[in-house]
Amino acid sequence: MTTNKVIGYLPDENPPVIELILFALQQIVVMFPATVLVALITGFHVSTTIFASGLATLAFILVTGRKIPLYYGSSFSYIAAIGSIMSADAFSSYSLNDKISIAQFGIIMSGFVSIIAGFIIKKSGKKFINKVLPPTVTGSIAIIIGLSLSANALANASAIPEGIAEGSKAVAGSYAWIIALITLFATILYSVYLKGKLSQLPILFGLLTGYIAAVIIGLASGIPFVSFDTVTSNSILNLPIFTFPKASWAAVIAIMPIAIATIPESTAHIYQLDIYVNELAKRKGSEKKYDIENKLGLNLIGDGIGDMVSGLIGGPAGTNYGENISAMAISKNFSVPVLITAAIITMVISCFTPLINIVYSIPTAVIGGLSIYLFGVIAAQGITIMMDKKVDMFSSKNLAVIAVILIIGLGGSFNFKGGMIPMFGTQLPALATAAVVGILLNLILSVGDNTVTEIE
């Protein structure tokens, strides 16, 4: 009788050099679109944002003692708040760099919120976490994060290059869908049917397959799905534009509170990691217990440090990425050295124009095909959290909390421009509002209830 050897790397395991680089590139592929998109939407410098994500990841891994395999990237939760500063009438006469400097101050202060929350959770312990952030909340947050990004995934899948003549846009759109679908199904087939070491690289292989398809379709149709001249420069080496923060109460008021809304997201990520890492350890026959879920406080401290590092040099606020967790879950690769390598390569890419152009040359339709899979996995991981923690779906309290989070999060994301819910004379971010309302509702409904869901 033969037994299949379980392939995968745990957080403290180090793959061989070639595998290490390939796995790192795969992590870069999945974090890159969202991180760059945040920079493009907010007006921050793209190369600086890329560099900041790598540097903040290194800072996070250092602060957390290499115990938590997470990658730090720009967060969508902060887009509206940062945008309000960048477009404010009070700063209309300021230069772009001055506007970024003002926003940086709010980003750094938001880091303090995460750090303080981390210390509170470390001091209060497991029971406090279970009461404030039970699986009904964290699982639901993970679901709406994944599903709220579904529109982005489909928009990317149908995206066509700029400059296409009006009469050719319908044909170009059809070709874009072909590229996206080839990428999607190739990635799925690779993740399901590849065996051994190759089974850990389905996303990278899926991207390459989609890229080749885009090149072939581009040559046959004359539509430039692949382009290498996104960033033009006379020099190969171009250091990012670093800016430094300027004190502003307006930035603090606009940006700092958003950090509260990212706490449930980080909690969901930690629970996801704990489940997947320990399941892999079990399948590999390891007796070691990776106690990741009890490092939520440490994770939030690391997240806050990441915000401060990013904010100090001119990068947007961020958080650890669900896309990277999806990639790790699919490839069964949770190695911290891989994430360190990814962070270093990312920083190098941000300094070299040819490397940036290679990354930019990846067609948006290819990214869309990958995103359909990755964002769906994020949502599925939310279901996994609730199943693993045995959430009682016949409990009226649990159903109420889950229902409210899902509808506010998804309804707000899709019904209002920019996912901002107009309410009480202001605009509230849908995901943040869903998280805060869900937490408060759960606490209110828990009054007089001495039974707390235990995280086993």
For residue range 185-236, what is the model confidence (pLDDT) as tens digits?
999 999 889 887 777 778 888 989 999 999 999 999 989 888 876 666 667 8
**Burial of 294 (C-beta count, 10 Å sphere; 0-12/13-18/19+):** middle
Mean pLDDT for all residues in the chain? 86
Segment among 104-108, 120-124, 396-400 with least mean pLDDT: 120-124
Q: Is 68 helix (H, G, I), strand (E, B) or coil?
A: coil
DSSP code per residue over 193-240:
H--GGGGG-HHHHHHHHHHHHHHHHHHHH----S-S-SS--S-SB---
CB 203 within 8 A of CB 370: yes
Ramachandran quadrant class, 419 (left: phi over 0; alpha: psi -120 to 50; beta: rest): left
Residue-level length of the chain: 456
With CA atoms as reference, report the closest residue to 228 among 110, 356, 130.
356
Judged against a pLDDT cut of 70, whether residue 308 lies above it is answered with: yes
User: Model pTM?
Assistant: 0.73
Distances in whole angstroms, Cα of residue 90 to Cα of each of 84, 86, 250, 290 = 11, 10, 10, 50
E-strand spans in 61-115?
72-74
CA 194 to chain centre: 26
Radius of gyration (C-alpha) of the chain in whole angstroms? 22
CA distance 273 to 279: 10
Judged against a pLDDT cut of 90, whether residue 149 lies above it is answered with: no
CA distance 401 to 168: 48
- What residue type is assigned to position 266 of the chain? S
CA distance 74 to 57: 11
